[in-house]
Structure 1
Amino acid sequence: MNTILVVDDDAHIRKLMRLYLEDSQFTVIEAADGKEALDILSRVNVQLAIVDVMMPHVDGIELTEDIRSFLDIPILMVTAKGESQDKVRGFQAGTDDYVVKPFDPVELILRVKALLKRYNVSSEKTVTIGSATIDIDQLIVTSNALTISLKKKECELLFMLASSPGVIFTRSQLIEKIWGYDYEGDERTVDVHIKRLREQLNPITDIAISTVRGLGYRLEVV
């Protein structure tokens, strides 16, 4: 059973989240602020954190940055209605998704399940295709004596393609899986990352990222 950490200084919000999460068979641990959350995370194995932005001591943005410095777990941020700047700061800090207060508890559960599924897909830390091995923990690709360092999103994108060789992924599918449901940029972001990946993978001659016109991209052994 997955353990969810709910971090919010409002006890009523925490109670509401606990009710719905436990009804969906999750184990719930509560923290009233970021400082208490960090203490819990240092002692307890948590699979996902739900983090409110506005909290005393350590706020949600700082907490997200701290979590990202030592843990690779999905983070769902809770923001106030209309505070778009919080969303931007949240994504910059490393959150995976967000919900806006007042939120629909059913939507919250769906987002939690989607994030866990997304992370569980990449619970295997390496995947091999052709002569190349992609290590999502170290953000590297190795092939024979060659080692190529990648940025986080580049590695996640390549890892996803390599996990299903020959399968066509649309740009919208890649955006949803790598950047999250509510990514506010456009699909050209995928094209930019694919271009960078192709340039960096050029020395590895037995794999290639192919463009399927009108559909998307796939990774193949050549």
Structure 2
Amino acid sequence: MAEEKILVVDDEKEIRDLIEIYLKNEGYKILKASDGREALDIVKKDHIDLIILDVMMPNMDGIEACMKIREEESMPIIMLSAKSEDMDKIIGLTTGADDYITKPFNPLELLARVKSQLRRYLKLNNNPQNESNKDIIRIDDIVINIATHEVKVLDKIVKLTPREFDILELLARNRGVVFNIEKIYELVWKEEFLDSNNTVMVHIRKLREKIEEDPRNPRYIKTVWGVGYKVDK
């Protein structure tokens, strides 16, 4: 089942609820907003994978909201509009929308567009050869920016020491690979490991306290008993 988070923005409650029903049936997580301003607030606070954005809304319309979202975000945006004129479509797409669908629409067609945009977007962001994303590593709700040494958990910046960051980067770059304590120490500290050295364990514990919701039952950095540590695939 899908776990991507989709924001549905429309001033008509019936349309928001209809779209929610179809998307929830596919396993998507849904957030809803009734105008552009409310949508911007949600985008600032939460990680959104795709936005379905109505053009005609009070307070802030979809065109203006799309332009403001595009100043900082790159997730797919599908525009909805009751107007079918070519000029409206052109305006929507030139302000940063990825797709456009007119009302009344077939919910199954909208669902197909959503799946298509998400496939393209997620493939792009998970492609290690993509130059614009080569310094970004994502692990579910964790975003690791190698260039800026910044880590976000649920879109909140978490301050790590340089060693903690290096350990997280090592495990995140090699998801599924188990590293023993000796190997982690040699790769991160670049020194010979001593048998009595518990430095790695202390750093792992502190790292879990910062990024894990429940450090005693870690979701991200797993212990392979008798072997070492890993980040699951």
Could you list the per-position Cα deviations for residues 122-164 of structure 1 after superposition, in whole angstroms to 9, with x for gaps in the alignment?
A: 113651xxxxxx61359xxxxxxxxxxxxxxxxxxxxxxxxxx
**1:121 aligns to what?**
123
1:44 aligns to 2:46 (yes or no): yes
1:32 is matched with: 34
Q: What residue identity is the alignment partner of 2:51?
A: A
Q: Segments of 4+ in structure 1 off by > 4 A?
A: none
8 A contact 1:81–1:102 mirrored in 2: no
The structure with more strand, counted as a fraction of residues: 1
Give the match for residue 107 of structure 1.
Answer: 109
Give secondary structure in 2 for the equivalent of 1:95.
coil
Within the candidate set 87, 90, 94, 1:88 is matched to 90
Equivalent AA in structure 2 for residue 13 of structure 1: I
Q: Which amino acid aligns with 1:3?
A: K
- Normalised TM-score (structure 1): 0.57
Distance 1:89 1:137, change over 3 A: farther
| Conservation of the 8 A alpha-carbon contact between 1:3 and 1:28 | yes
| Identity score, percent | 43
Residue from 115, 129, 136 that aligns with 2:132: 136
Corresponding residue SS for 1:122? helix
Unaligned runs of 5+ in 1: 128-133, 139-222
Which residue is equivalent to 2:159? Answer: none
AA partner of residue 131 (structure 2): D
1-side partners of 2:59 and 2:96: how far apart? 19
What is the distance in 2 between the residues matched to 1:94 and 1:57? 20
Distance 1:2 1:126 in 2: 20
Q: Please report the TM-score for the alignment, with normalisation by the length of structure 2.
A: 0.54
The answer (yes or no) to whether the contact 2:125–2:133 under 8 Å persists in 1 is no
C-alpha distance in structure 1 between counterparts of 2:96 and 2:133, whole Å: 16
Higher Rg of the two aligned structures: 2
Instruction: Please report the RMSD computed on the Cα atoms of aligned residues, expressed in angstroms.
Output: 1.5
User: Cα distance, 1:80 vs. partner?
Assistant: 1.6
Aligned twin of 1:63: 65
- Give the conservation status (yes or no) of the 8 Å contact 2:6–2:50: yes
1:125/1:135 contact within 8 Å kept: no
Q: Is the 8 A contact 1:126 1:136 kept in 2?
A: no
For the residue of structure 1 that corresponds to 2:6, the secondary structure is strand
Contact 2:79 2:97 in 1 (8 A): yes
* Pairing 1:1-222 to 2, within 5 Å after superposition: 1-124=3-126, 126-127=128-129, 135-137=131-133
Conservation of the 8 A alpha-carbon contact between 1:125 and 1:136: no
| In structure 2, distance between residues paired with 1:86 and 1:126 | 36
